[in-house]
Amino acid sequence: MLDYSALRAVFSVIQTGSFEKAAGLLNVTPSAVSQRVKQLEERLGIVLIARGNPCTATEKGEWLCRHMENVGMLEAELFNHLPALVDPTEPELRVTLHIATNADSLGTWFLTAMSRFASRSPYLLNIAVDDQDHTAEWLRRGQVIAAVTSLEKPVQGCRRVSLGALRYHATASPDFVARHFPQGVMKEAIGKAPLLTFNQKDRLQGRWMHQVFGEDLNPPTHWLPSTQGFVEASLSGMGWGMNPALLVGEHLATGRLVELIPDTPLDVPLYWQMNRLAADRLVDLTREVTAVATHHLLA
C-alpha cells in the first residue's frame, strides 16, 4: 500500500528544492519531512532525492513525481465534484505540470499558449528548455508530462499531435555579408565566416548548410544560448545564424537583416507529445497549444 504522506514529502522536496521549504509547504517540521523521505527510500532500497542545493530528483524520483502529478489531477477532479471531501486543516497543494519545449518555440509562440491555459487553470507550470531534437528524452525519462519535440514517432505511453513547422532563415546583417561574402555566399566563404550556435545540441546551422551546399561544413562559431541573443548578435554583425521567421520577419522587411541566400528557408516540423495518463485531463492544455501553433506555425 502506498504511503502518500511519504510520497508527498518526496514530491515537495523535489518541487521546492529543499527539506525546509517542503516542510513549510506541508505544514510540518523539516525533521518530519526528512524522516518520511528516509523511511520511503529505505523501504524501496533506492535513492529518490539527490541531496544538494537545490535538492533534485533521481531518475526514480522523477517517475514518482509524475505519479504524484497524476494523483494531484485526479484529486482536484474528485474534490471539484465532492467538495465535502476536502480537509480544511490540510494545506492546499497545487499541482505543478512539468513541460519541456525548445527555446525558439518558447521565444516565439509557446508562452502565449501557456499563458492562456494558466489564466483559466488551477495548475502551475514548470517549463524546461532543451533542443527540439532532445525534449522527447525528457518524456522517456519521466521528467515531464508533455513536450514540444521534433520527434514524429510517438514516445511510448504518449499521444502525439502535429503542430506545424517552425520556419528559420539563415540571416546576417548587411555589413556582415559585405565583409565575409564579397563574391557571394559560396561554400569556401561560408566555411570561414563566423556563425552563431545555441549550444552543442544545436544542429540547425549544419542542417541548412547541408541542405544548400550538400556537404557537412564546420565554420568557426560563437556560442550563444539565447533565442533573442541570436537576433541581436545577427543585427550587430557578430555572426550569421538560423533565426525564426517569427522573430526576424520585420528585420528582413526593413533590410536590417538579410538572408544569406534568398528563398532557402529551413522548416522544422514540431509535435506535441503528452503522457496518455494525463491527456484526457489536460484537454484544455492541448487545445491551447494546438490553437496557438496553428496560428503561428506553417501547416
* Domains by residue range for the chain, with CATH: 1-93 (1.10.10.10), 166-268 (3.40.190.10)
Expressed in angstroms, the distance from the first to the final Cα of the chain is 48
The model's confidence at residue 93, banded by pLDDT at 50, 70 and 90, is confident
Q: Span 88-113, mean pLDDT?
A: 90
For 266, phi then psi, to 5°, come to -120, 120
pLDDT at 80: 79
Length of the chain: 299
The model's confidence at residue 7, banded by pLDDT at 50, 70 and 90, is very high
pLDDT at 86: 82
DSSP helix/strand/coil, 96: strand
- Please provide the average confidence, as pLDDT, over all residues in the chain: 94
Q: Are strands 258-259 and 158-172 parallel, antiparallel or unpaired?
A: antiparallel
Contact present, 3 and 38 (Cβ < 8 Å): no
Name which residue leads in pLDDT, 142 or 283.
Answer: 283
Return the ∠ at Cα 91 (arms to 56 and 96), rounded to 5°.
40
* H helix runs in the chain, sequence order: 4-16, 19-26, 30-44, 59-81, 103-105, 111-119, 135-140, 174-180, 187-190, 204-213, 227-236, 245-254, 276-279, 283-296
Q: Span 200-216, mean pLDDT?
A: 95
pLDDT at 48: 96
The β-bridge partners of 240 are 195
Q: Which three cell numbers stand for residue 39?
A: 523511511
Within 8 A by CB and 6+ apart from 225, the residues are 103, 198, 199
